[in-house]
Amino acid sequence: MVLENAVNKKRLSAIGFCTGVIAGLATITPGSGFVQPGFGIVFGFLGSVCCFYSIKAMHYLQVDDSLDVTAVHGVGGALGMVLTGMFAQFSVTNANATPGTATAGWVEGVWIQVPIQLAAIAAIGAWSAVWTALIVFALDSVLGCKLRVSNEDEMLGLDMVEVGEHAYPFVEDGTLKNGSYKSVSVTTLQV
């Protein structure tokens, strides 16, 4: 992520750096008790690259995930599960498991482990999707919460729309500063 910003935008990005670190950590987490420490570098590199392109795809598809949680944690975690199925080693898992219960991955010839990991990813994804849908439906039905606000409300800021004040007052001389630091006249926004 940092390299892409350096090459394409000719500057380094602290947010890109932090997002890459989080992506690497999310990717190695599933394998932390199953792979040798050196594989952490492989997991982290692959995780940050895959998550970077996942973020790009989410933006291209106009999916509103303001913190890129799905693209970083979801994709990174799923990739980490698959990589764990490939690189888990008996030398690590035997140290942490009850005797006779340790398993390993493709590097040890356990070919069934990746399909098991893929089934787990599908089950976790389905479980998360069902419960998220139920929670969103309940919030919408009971409290009237909406997942999406109007563009005008978003530009004005939900703090102003919902509670009538700015949590972070970036208003100077009658103009509201948005995320790109371009001035937007408050009077042009319809509320």
Looking at the fold, whether 99 and 178 belong to one and the same domain comes out as no
Whether 24 is covered by a domain: the verdict is yes
- Same-domain pairing of 10 and 77: yes
Q: What pLDDT, in 10s, does the model give residues 12-30?
A: 888 888 999 999 999 999 9
Domain that holds residue 155: 151-188
81 and 18 in a common domain: yes
User: Do the beta carbons of residue 71 and residue 61 sit within 8 Å?
Assistant: no
What is residue 115's three-state secondary structure? helix
Q: Is the pLDDT of residue 41 over 90?
A: yes
Contact 12, 2 (CB under 8 A): yes
> Given 82, 111, 140, which residue is the final one in a domain?
111
- Side chain identity at residue 40, one-letter code: G
Q: How many domains does the chain have?
A: 2
Among the three residues 89, 111, 133, which one is the final residue of a domain in this structure? Answer: 111
Q: Is residue 62 part of a domain?
A: yes
pLDDT in tens, 109-165: 889 999 999 999 999 999 999 999 999 899 888 877 777 778 888 888 778 887 887
Residue scoring higher pLDDT (188 or 77): 77
Q: Is residue 164 part of a domain?
A: yes
% of the chain at pLDDT higher than 90: 49
Whole-number Å distance between alpha carbons of 50 and 76: 7
Q: Say if 123 falls within a structural domain.
A: no
Domain assignment present for residue 137? The answer is no
Q: Are residues 91 and 10 in the same domain?
A: yes
| One domain, residues 74 and 166 | no
Task: Kindly state whether residues 87 and 19 are assigned to the same domain.
Answer: yes
Query: 163 and 105 in one domain?
Result: no
Sign of the Cα pseudo-torsion (87, 91, 96, 102, in order): positive
Does residue 40 have a pLDDT over 50?
Answer: yes
Q: Is 95 part of any domain?
A: yes
* Residue 76 is assigned to a structural domain of this protein: yes
